[in-house]
Amino acid sequence: MNATLGTYRLIYEDARWFIGKLLLLYVTLPLTAVWIIIGTFELDNTLATIAAPGYFFFIPFYGIMGFKSILPIAVGLGSTRTQLLRSFYAVGVSTVVMYFVILNVVHLLLMTLYERGISTVSTLHVGLLYSSEYQFFAYLWIDLMFGFLLFGGVFFIYCVMYRLGMTWTLVGVMAIGITAMFLFYSGALDAPIAWLSTLNVNAMTGFTIAGIAGLLALLVTYPMMRNASLQPKAKSE
């Protein structure tokens, strides 16, 4: 097995365990079963969520640990950083797509049971910001875009901290924040804000832009990490 296939297999096995097994089999599906059982009781339109663990923990966490844990192992086995990054992007994005496709199939099952009166539990979905009427493909697209934003955005932030260190990252964040405050209160941002308000961007367009931004953030990490050292900058640096 050459270094490229070996790196891909290493990342694939890690993603399959973390997203496919730990998140899907041990969290999402059991949570779905619990809500189906609860829905058999005569309750007053209970609202449930099955996406929260993936949104707020597993997808962002994998954006960090999926790379951090594999980097020294892959390099030690002879893989280059470019091979590792390309494999990580391909496996990471594919895993996010796979998870949200399955998640939305499960969501469709719960909504079907609710609409037919078999269950009293209806599920919350971020797609409600777009339409109150359930639409499988629209909701799936929104999930994918939000997932790309979480995966790419969190990995980008991790890469910045990896290369600059905690201290300089915080200094940069504070500098950007203070500059933004001065620009806002001085009125320098009034024209751009007014222009953005005239665009009338709907929810679907907003989610699509967010997903593209997440993918672009993921691509930006390539030049940042292709020559990175095996150890991140120390917190004091």
Span 200-217, mean pLDDT? Answer: 89
Distance between CA atoms of 231 and 69, rounded to whole angstroms? 11
Distance between CA atoms of 192 and 116, rounded to whole angstroms? 48
Distance between CA atoms of 114 and 125, rounded to whole angstroms? 14
Span 31-37, mean pLDDT? Answer: 89
Q: What is the pLDDT of residue 1?
A: 54
Distance between CA atoms of 33 and 49, rounded to whole angstroms? 12
Handedness of CA 175, 180, 185, 187 (dihedral sign): positive
Q: Look at residue 217 and tell me whether its pLDDT is greater than 90.
A: yes
Mean pLDDT in the chain?
86
At 158-178, the pLDDT tens digits run 999 888 888 888 888 898 888
* Residue 148 confidence class, pLDDT cut points 50, 70, 90: very high
* Residue 220 confidence class, pLDDT cut points 50, 70, 90: very high
Single-letter residue type at 199: L
Q: What is the pLDDT of residue 2?
A: 67
Give me 9's structure tokens: 């297999």
Q: At 157, is the secondary structure helix, strand, or coil?
A: helix
Distance between CA atoms of 206 and 199, rounded to whole angstroms? 11
Q: Look at residue 98 and tell me whether its pLDDT is greater than 70.
A: yes
At 80-93, the pLDDT tens digits run 888 889 999 999 99
Span 213-235, mean pLDDT? Answer: 86
